[in-house]
Amino acid sequence: MSDTKRALVLGGGGVAGIAWETGVLAALADGGVDVTTADRIIGTSAGSTVAAQITSGLSLSELLARQIDPARQTPELASGVPMDQLWAQFQRIYEGTSDPAAQRRELGALALNAATVSEAERRAVIEARLPVHRWPERDLVIVAVEALTGEPRLFTADSGPGLVDAVAASCAVPGVWPCVSIDGVRYMDGGVRTSTNADLAAGFDRVLVLAPMPDVAEPWKELASRAGVLVEAIEPGPDSLAAFGLDPLAPEVRTPSAEAGFAQGRSLAARVAAMWC
């Protein structure tokens, strides 16, 4: 088993997703299975924040406390965008064409034309979220999408931009937060490709996917169809969804979402251990 390759996939889901994923991961470790030791960690949007946090050197218990304790939570900006309005915009784009590339370009146009806070204001939020601003010496992949072309971009320690910029790009929700400029290119949320980008875990023997938001593509199913590959996908249960509320971007959902994630992770620890170990 020493040559078994493991991947941890952390999907998007806003502020609620960050808190929930942290709770799940902390509970799994508390239950005897620390999946943060994975050979590759793939982070998208909220998951990119969690990926950077769990590779920072801080313990999962400390990261969980930073989500649960209001006195230790980092500052967040309210989106100011009604979620029903945003979802309606997304739905019109998805219903207008079935071509994923065309959908991404339409979402890019929305992102580029949206009235948002400045890049600097948003970047300050990302800086505060990350305990360490340098890339870890780990196989960490952060997914973003070029706003103009709709082409995905995989950021790694060797790809050029700093960790803060990579995470900020991956978290740039179209219509809510500003696109992130890196070397003259504007980037938006990596969840525009898929909410987990779990297909990037191809080639690994054990894959754990945390998917705070639905991923209609469910790419982990294709991975699981391969001989010798074990995949576990964890999505929010009813209590976790209730904790998320109607706006997963709202700062006040952090504490209940982290607590719900911890409870859900504790209930799944034995099942994940059987797959992972």
Residue 58: strand, helix, or coil: coil
Structure tokens of 203? 């080639």
The single-letter DSSP state of residue 75 is P
Q: Are strands 180-182 and 185-189 parallel, antiparallel or unpaired?
A: antiparallel
> Cα–chain-centroid distance for residue 254?
15
Q: Write the Ramachandran bin of 213: left for phi over 0, alpha for psi from -120 to 50, otherwise beta.
A: beta
**3-class DSSP assignment, residue 277:** coil
Given the structure tokens 């790809």, which residue do they identify?
159
- Contact in structure between 230 and 253 (CB atoms under 8 Å): no
Burial class, 106, CB count within 10 angstroms (exposed 0-12 / middle 13-18 / buried 19+): buried
- Which residues are the active-site residues? 45, 189
